[in-house]
Structure 1
Amino acid sequence: MHEVSVMSSIVEAVLTELRKYEIESVEEVYLTVGEMTYLGAEQLEFAYEFLTQGTLLEGSKLVIEPEKITVKCSTCGYEGGIKYLGDEEEDGVYHTQLPVISCPECAGQVEVVNGRSCVVKSVKAVEKDV
């Protein structure tokens, strides 16, 4: 479960940034998580709740925005989503969908444009009255 180590780094980074300001409380932390990180939202939320206990982030809500995989083909110029193994499988061979990282139009080589992020987009906080 690598979600705990990833979330530990995220929580520490957010707390480090918040120390620069006069913050009374934090309401929400917005996180973008790419499909190719293979980070589970439920596991991230569980780790967040555990790791924020006793900190300024305790009681805040973690809002996770998923980021789909998009690619750009160097052969035909296609830019967009990808195909997945398991999309057409009706016999239950696959327990999960596996991304096919090649051009869905020409099967050419692609560059992954989106889907690898794990980024804190923003933090909704309440400043202390000074």
Structure 2
Amino acid sequence: MTTQIIESVLEEAKKQGAKKVIEVQLVIGKMTFLGTEQVRFSYNILVEDTIMKGSKLIIEEKDGVIECSSCGYRGEIPVVDDPAYHVPIPTLRCPKCAKAAKIVEGKECTIRSIRMVK
């Protein structure tokens, strides 16, 4: 995923005639299950020999939202905090009617902005 982000930024920088990329802002949905620290780590390694070297990476995490087609609920994804799992687990059941719900937000990984020097 980080490779694709960097490729997209470099492609846009080339289109704009940039000499250097100084900042990249990302929005990562929590339902992508991408670890922000892993993204930062791989980003810093992968930009090493590019015009992105030394650029600042800003990551905004976006909460997940579900929608229930049975009762119309739209809102936060309920989380089960079961000690057996060691981490809170999101459930894809409607908190109002307990029927299956679909994720409508929080699966995205988008580049919000790129700051560059021309």
Q: Give TM-score, length-normalised by structure 2.
A: 0.92
State the SS of the aligned residue for 2:38.
Answer: helix
Runs of 4 or more off by more than 3 Å in structure 1?
none
For the 8 Å contact 2:29–2:109, the answer to whether it is kept is: yes
1:34 aligns with 2:25: no
- Which digits, 9 at most, give the CA deviation of each residue in 1:32-90, with x for residues without a partner? 1111211100010000000000211110011111111101111111111011111xx4x
Distance 2:85 2:116 in 1: 43
Whole-Å separation in 2 of the counterparts to 1:117 and 1:72: 16
What pairs up with 1:84-123 in 2 under 5 angstroms? 84-86=79-81, 89=82, 92-123=83-114
Query: Do the aligned residues in 1 keep the contact of 2:13 with 2:21 (CA within 8 Å)?
Result: no
Structure 1 residue 96, shift from structure 2 partner = 0.8
Aligned CA RMSD, in angstroms, stands at 1.2
Gaps in structure 2 of 5+ consecutive residues: none
Alignment partner of 1:125 is 2:113: no
Distance 2:15 2:4 in 1: 18
- Residue identity matched to 1:125: M
SS in 2 for 1:57: coil
Residues 13-43 of structure 1, C-alpha deviation per residue, up to 9 Å, x if partnerless? 2111211112132221111111121110001
The runs of 5 or more residues in structure 1 that have no matched partner are 1-5
Secondary structure (helix, strand or coil) at the match of 1:23 reads: coil
> Structure 1-normalised TM-score?
0.84
